[in-house]
Amino acid sequence: MAQASTDDTAGAAVNTSQADGCFTWDKELAEGAKGDAVTELQIRLGGYPASGEVLAPDGSFGPLTTAAVKRFQKAYGLSETGKADEATYNKIYELQDDDCSPANFDFAELNKCNSDWSGGMVSAATAKESAKRTMWKLQALRHAMGDESIRITSGFRSKSCNADVGGSPNSRHMYGYAADMGKTPHSLCDIAKAARNHGFNTILGPGYPDHDDHIHVDHKDSKTWEAPDCGI
């Protein structure tokens, strides 16, 4: 079982008996904490920033992380302390599979092109890690939309796969951190509107060229929200 690294800025020890095979937090974390344990927390809370914001997994527990913890706690009926405590970790463990993917998404859904994650614009390891970040944001989006299914139509693409589908020469899909969603129980516009609250810098949908049948999201550095038919 993976164990969180010791962090001098972390708080009280927590019971690790509920942990899973992916990552274990052994101490509470609060504002001011730094280190790998904070980074792992931020990845799992990436879907809980304020609307229009992105929570960077930088290993530094600042005000944006505190706010994200509170939003996560509120979403799951926990005490809104802003501190990553035992109850917070236990909820994450409940949502997390042993390969570090969230409960309702898996790596295969985010890679229908090349199972070893190679051939893109970044290393295979980087592409897979980026997909993990995206999946945790999608998990938050799914929960906010009533825990109903979200259909992923495209995720990571190698350069050859991207060319085969006519993707942009610099498509974010080749970096591993983009996902396309098709219509599900929710309309495309409902998905696009909800995505604004879950850490995506890019949201493209109906009314944007070649996006009338899906919603594209990614977390590149610059912000582009364009789904004109949805009022975005």
Positions annotated as catalytic residues are 211
Contact 42, 29 (CB under 8 A): no
Beta bridge partners of 181: 152, 215
Which spans in the chain are helix H? 36-44, 63-75, 86-95, 124-144, 159-164, 188-195
Residue 139 phi/psi, 5-degree rounding, is -60, -40
Residue with tokens 């274990």: 24
**What strands lie across the sheet with 224-226, from one edge to the other?**
151-154, 178-182, 215-218, 202-204, 224-226
Specify the 3-state DSSP secondary structure of 203. Answer: strand
**Helix (H, G, I), strand (E, B), or coil: what is residue 96?**
strand
Residue 177 contacts residue 133 (beta carbons within 8 Å): yes
Give the integer Cα–Cα distance in Å for 116 and 18: 31
- Block residue for tokens 């609060």: 30
Of 138, 82, 83, 135, the closest CA to residue 107 belongs to: 135
Which amino acid makes up residue 110? L
